[in-house]
Amino acid sequence: MIQKLLIANRGEIAVRIIRACREMGIETVAVYSTADRDALHTQLADESVCIGETKSSESYLNMESIMSAAVSSGVDAIHPGVGFLSENAEFAELCEQCGIKYVGPNSEIINLMGNKALARDTMIKAGVPVIPGCDSVVEDCNEAKIIADEIGYPVIIKAVLGGGGKGMRVANCEEEFESAFNTAKKESEMAFGDGQMYIEHYIEHPRHIEFQIMADSHGNIIHLGERDCSVQRNHQKMIEESPTIVLDEDTRNKMAETAIKAARAVNYENAGTVEFLLEKSGAFYFMEMNTRIQVEHPVTEMVTGLDMIKEQISIAAGNELSVSQEDVLPKGHAIECRINAENPRKNFCPCPGHISGLYMPGGNGVRVDSAIYSGCDVSPFYDSMLAKLIVHGRNRSEAIKKMRRALGEVVIEGITSNVDYLYEILCDNTFVAGDYDVSFIEGFNSQL
């Protein structure tokens, strides 16, 4: 078993992992930048090591510094959390080379899933439905245009090393293609140092449905149901819920089996997420696979009753999953709202600063995952998420009412947040009807 674990992250996810470790009897080592001397994760861990200056590139992305903290503190495992180094194959490999267990899949799988064209190819071979598109990578615009004509407009041009929306452009017709292709390619070269692109038919107004899977090193793979993450802005998720209202039992089972098939195709081990695009017709397609724990995991924890971080650490240590598929019986409905330090009235501009007063809600079925406290400073150098507010009700209607109640209790003094904006969404007729897709926020904002 793991005795001592280093958390290569900060903020609420670092706190979440420290809490799981404390309950498991695992000693924790936090790493922190000079801006995070007084951060909650720095204070809650058994030991804390400063790994560099404020800038992420000098601290939370600094592999050498993190590895030297790991070696000198004598940990036997590293948890990468979310963001930062959590999908960095080089870091996973570095851990293994140093004889430290990486809480995640091996570096080859991280590489494979990081290459969206390779991932797509792998899924086609495994019999997993993918979005109709080209079957090879394209770098040349004229060659790409011929492929786009074959696929049929509208098309979407995606960066092979993309994901999360970067290096992605839609072309509605042949006339738009050249400019869309060149822009996407340039953006990809800038962001990833790579100009390989691939093309798919563009699916309008899909929902983003993702399945949570858990795979141990003994070949057991289970799924923990889905999350609907369609409520996003600029590829930043805002509200997630489980279950989704749109799946009938038949489609849900088919998607779940497909998610497990996708994981099995790559001999997956670790917690993972298989993302699907779901069309209005009910057709669904593999989009991407995330090889890490995700920010929205509490939504799944609330409906399944499982502690996914404990489960993830346990399977990384070589144990079998503590539950089998038959033991997973999702109950009720969970919703998560991401509370950010941002101003929805000023184009969601980040609002870091000093939190002079704080009250967070509680009560039956309400959970708050955060790393803020009264008197803390929110740094402008990291992402602006302050807290995740998660509720669980017997059904969706109860969960929505509970979320409104909980959002209404939040008091964050000193900085601007999106709490009132989230409350407005929870009162929006389209949201309440569950009648939304990935374009929902755009429409919601234009009627503000």
At 280 the three-state DSSP class reads: coil
**396 counts as catalytic:** no
**DSSP β-bridge partners for residue 343:** 349
Among 37, 186, 235, 354, binds ligand MV4 (CB under 6 A): 235
Closer Cβ to ligand MV4, 79 or 208, answer by number:
208
- Should residue 208 be labelled a site residue for ligand MV4 when binding is judged by CB under 6 A? yes
Q: Does residue 336 contact residue 240 with C-beta atoms inside 8 Å?
A: yes
Per annotation, catalytic residue among 10, 207, 292, 367: 292
**Among 13-21, 54-62, 196-204, 216-224, the segment contacting ligand MV4 (CB under 6 A):** 196-204
Question: Is there a contact between 225 and 242 (Cβ–Cβ < 8 Å)?
Answer: yes
Residues 6 or more apart whose Cβ sits within 8 Å of residue 134: 147, 151, 198, 199, 200
User: Residue 336 CB, nearest distance to ligand MV4 (Å)?
Assistant: 16
d(CA 21, CA 44): 11
| Closer residue to ligand MV4 in complex, CB, 131/360 | 131
* Binding to ligand MV4 in span 260-279, by CB under 6 A: 277
Of the candidates 197, 346, 206, 215, which has an alpha carbon nearest to the alpha carbon of residue 279?
Answer: 206
- For residue 100, what are the contacts with CB-CB under 8 A and spacing of at least 6? 67, 70, 71, 75, 76, 77, 78
Q: Which is nearer to ligand MV4, 269 or 275 (CB)?
A: 275
Q: Which is nearer to ligand MV4, 287 or 337 (CB)?
A: 287
Task: Compose the 134-173 pattern: x for residues touching ligand MV4 by CB under 6 A, - for all others.
Answer: ----------------------x------xxx--------
- Closer to ligand MV4 by CB, 55 or 166: give it: 166
Q: Does 444 bind ligand MV4 (CB under 6 A)?
A: no
287 part of the interface to ligand MV4, by CB under 6 A: yes
x/- binding map, residues 102-131, to ligand MV4, per CB under 6 A?
-----------------------------x
Contacting ligand MV4 within 362-421 (CB under 6 A): none
Q: Which tokens is 118 given?
A: 């390779």
Name, in order, each residue with C-beta under 8 angstroms of 208's C-beta and a sequence gap of 6 or more. Answer: 228, 229, 230, 232, 275, 276, 277, 278, 287, 438
Does 203 interact with ligand MV4 (rule: CB under 6 A)?
yes
Cβ density class 156-172: b for 16+ within 10 Å, e for less:
bbbbbbbbeebbbbebe
Residue 438 in contact with ligand MV4, rule: CB under 6 A = yes
Q: Scan for tokens 């007729």, then name that residue.
A: 429
Nearest residue (CB) to ligand MV4, 101 versus 227: 227
158 close to 196: Cβ distance less than 8 angstroms: no
* Shortest reach from residue 202's CB to ligand MV4, in Å: 5
Going 39 to 418 to 425 to 235, the CA torsion angle's sign is negative
Q: CB of 10: closest distance to ligand MV4 in angstroms?
A: 25
Which residues contact ligand MV4 (rule: CB under 6 A)? 131, 156, 163-165, 200-203, 206, 208, 232, 235, 277, 287-288, 438
**Among all residues, which ones are annotated catalytic?**
292
